[in-house]
Amino acid sequence: MGYTRMSAAEAAAMIKNDETIALSGFTPNGVPKAVFRELSKHAEQEHAAGRPFQIGIITGASTGQSVEGDMAAAKAIKFRAPFSTNKDFRDCTNAGEIDFEDMHLGHVAERLRRGFYGEIDWAIIEVSGLEEGTSTCKAFLTSAGGIVPTIVRLAKHVIIEHNSFHHPTSHLLHDVYEIAECPRRLPIPILQVGDRIGREYVEIDAKKIVGVVECCIPEEARAFTPLDPVTEQMGHNVADFLVNDLKRGIIPPEFLPLQSGVGVTSNAVLEALGQNPAVPVFSVYAEVVQDSVVKYMREGRIKAASCSSLTVTNDTLKGIYADMDYFKARITIRQSEISNAPEVIRRLGVIAMNTALECDIYGNENSSHICGSRLMNGVGGSCDYERNGFISIFTTQSTAKNGAISSIVPMCSHVDSTEHDVDVIVTEQGVADLRGKGPLRRAQEIIENCAHPDYRPLLRDYLKIAGKGHEPQHMRSALAFHDAYLTKGDMRLTEF
């Protein structure tokens, strides 16, 4: 037997205006691509014919150009959650065209189960292989875990993209596990980074599967930004801080699993830790595995990694597939509600390292909005880790736009991680260790250790005019840095 094969265009034609679609994948990896390449064209045709066509798209994390980029450009997204890194999507969202809910990635499956998003009309998932049973289908996931078991269970219909770009043994990397509905849940039984608690495949009710689309499409992986001296310095600052905590006995001698967000700074941190002989062989418990993890795993510096996605270049992905015997024993791809589960993160004592857009002098952090209003990417999974991690570190370059923006400001223009969840701030200038300190002592650390020297006098001046209080803020001047940037193009021109 076999399920109905159909073209991507035929699959796309079944999707109607105003429906809600949930997808496999986490970051651009593991996201279905074939159907959406047709769906954005279909949307444009519908619009040209004067008919409305907008859908809701819910995914594990960000996606790629074929999904949120082209669909946003086609004005075909009505609602979107939980995260995006795409420029076209960002432009449309900042123009007020898309209803976008920026959400903790560890909450997505949970909130879908709770029914907060109404009915899910379609689940579209990418697989590397299928066992086409009469009552249930066993589907093999590709390079990401995401929210698949939840969406195939909740959706009315399922479309499968069988993408032969992925190796048919990709399932050997997966541990598929869905948390049960409330109120009858059990503990998530992960005690070590590499523990496998589920199955290698996703089970799908065969009745829901309306079609299988065959394709061979590479991942829409983003290019790897090379390190520069500033990001390298930030990486070394983080590594030195952790080595010092190890020496002081704060971090136990066997070290603790690391989480590091997506992007160039995360790579810089992993490079610095990988190269530092004072750091023992370590593990990674994160939402993504990037190229540097794979590199140091090959070198024996990283012994195990758990993630919800191999957010790697296509070359690195092919390299993993080619060495499956080595990597299947070392890498585990999980659902995002497991990779980002507070329960597991706190139990394992994960060291959380994420990237800030800006931090204020009291330790509040903004990951998502430029000058309060304009979406950059979103919080992603950073908050799942910062509150539950053993130590919560945020890194940011002390300035941006050739010095016209200070990443250390009097008050964040938007807050994603509060002072209660930020233990350490690291810039290329240095490290502010905020643990066990009240606001005034935190301000001292952050201004003197992390702010760029050009901005320190302004920040000290602000503290003076802010006056008395547990956490002094001056309501008329708190956002003056941002106002100066918006009106004069340079925060150095701030006047209080």
Q: Which of residues 161-200 bind a copy of itself (CB under 8 A)?
A: 181-183, 185-189, 191
Contact 100, 173 (CB under 8 A): no
Q: Which residue has the tokens 């310095």?
A: 233
- Binding residue (CB under 8 A) for a copy of itself from 227, 466, 491, 494: 466
- Closest to a copy of itself by CB, 118 vs 453, is 118
What is the token pair recorded at 381?
């999974």
Longest CA–CA span in the chain (Å) reads: 76
Considering only 79, 224, 241, 496, the residue that binds a copy of itself (CB under 8 A) is 79
Site for a copy of itself in 422-441 (CB under 8 A): 423, 435-438, 440-441
- Sheet of 408-409, strands arranged across: 365-366, 358-360, 408-409
Q: Tell me whether residue 287 is one of the annotated catalytic residues.
A: yes
Is 48 near a copy of itself (CB under 8 A)?
A: no
- Among the candidate windows 161-169, 224-232, 456-464, 474-482, which touches a copy of itself by CB under 8 A? 474-482
- Does 50 help bind a copy of itself (rule: CB under 8 A)? no
Footprint of a copy of itself on 439-458 (CB under 8 A):
440-441
Residues 82-101 interacting with a copy of itself (rule: CB under 8 A): 93-96, 98-101
Instruction: Considering the complex, state which of residue 250 and residue 493 has its C-beta at the smaller distance from a copy of itself.
Output: 250
| Phi, psi torsion values for 350, nearest 5 degrees | -65, 135
Binds a copy of itself by CB under 8 A, chosen from 472, 491, 492, 494: 472
The interface with a copy of itself within residues 404-423 (CB under 8 A) comprises 411, 413-421, 423
Residue ranges of alpha helices (H) inside 324-407 are 324-327, 336-339, 342-348, 382-386
303 near a copy of itself, rule: CB under 8 A = no
> Minimum distance from CB of 28 to a copy of itself (Å)?
21
Complex with a copy of itself: residue 453 or 467, whichever CB lies closer: 467
Residue 253 or 453 having the CB closest to a copy of itself: 253
Binding of residue 493 to a copy of itself (CB under 8 A): no
Q: Count CB-CB contacts under 10 A for residue 343.
A: 13
* CA angle (336, 339, 344) in 5-degree steps: 135
Contact flag: residue 369 with a copy of itself (CB under 8 A): yes
Q: Cα dist. 5→9, 70, 130, 385 in Å?
A: 12, 25, 13, 41
Is residue 116 close enough to count as binding a copy of itself by CB under 8 A?
A: yes
Peptide bond just before 410 cis, omega within 30 deg: no
In the complex with a copy of itself, the residue whose CB is nearer, 14 or 440, is: 440
Helices (H), 323-476: 324-327, 336-339, 342-348, 382-386, 439-449, 456-466
Catalytic residue (choose from 161, 287, 358, 365): 287
The secondary element (H helix, E strand) that includes residue 77 is strand 77-81
Contacts to a copy of itself from residues 139-158, by CB under 8 A? none
Interface stretch with a copy of itself, choices 42-50, 262-270, 289-297, 375-383 (CB under 8 A): 375-383
The CB-of-149 to a copy of itself minimum distance in angstroms stands at 18
| Segment contacting a copy of itself by CB under 8 A, of 34-42, 229-237, 267-275, 476-484 | 476-484
Question: C-beta of 73: minimal distance to a copy of itself in Å?
Answer: 17
Say which residues have a Cβ less than 8 Å from residue 319's Cβ, sequence separation at least 6. Answer: 294
1 in contact with a copy of itself (CB under 8 A): no
By C-beta, is 244 or 275 nearer to a copy of itself?
Answer: 244
Q: Does 280 bind a copy of itself (CB under 8 A)?
A: no
Q: Which one of residues 17, 216, 373, 457 is an interface residue with a copy of itself (CB under 8 A)?
A: 373
| Per-residue contact flags (x/-) with a copy of itself for residues 306 to 345, judged by CB under 8 A | -----------------------------------xxx--
Nearest distance in Å: CB 281, a copy of itself: 14
Which range, of 29-37, 124-132, 224-232, 467-475, touches a copy of itself by CB under 8 A?
A: 467-475
Residue choice 478, 491, 492, 494 for contact with a copy of itself (CB under 8 A): 478
Rule CB under 8 A: is residue 75 a binding residue for a copy of itself? no
Confirm or reject binding of residue 110 to a copy of itself (CB under 8 A): yes
Kindly list the distances between the CA atom of residue 392 and the CA atoms of 348, 383, 389, 433, in Å, as whole numbers in the listed order.
Answer: 14, 10, 6, 10
Residues counted in the chain: 496
d(CA 342, CA 264): 25
Cα of first residue to Cα of last residue in the chain, in angstroms, is 74
Q: What angle do CA 214, 215, 217 make, to 5 degrees?
A: 160
Q: How far apart are CA 380 and CA 60, in angstroms?
A: 10
- Tell me the C-alpha distance between 50 and 447, whole Å: 56
> Does position 467 bind a copy of itself by CB under 8 A?
yes
Q: Which amino acid is at 398?
A: S
Q: Does 117 bind a copy of itself (CB under 8 A)?
A: yes
Distances (CA, A) of 478 to 439, 471, 472, 474: 15, 12, 10, 5
Rounded Cα–Cα distance for residues 487 and 150 (Å): 47
CA atoms in the 13 A half-sphere facing the CB of 294: 22
Q: Considering the rule CB under 8 A, would residue 356 count as an interface residue with a copy of itself?
A: no
List, by residue number, the catalytic residues.
287
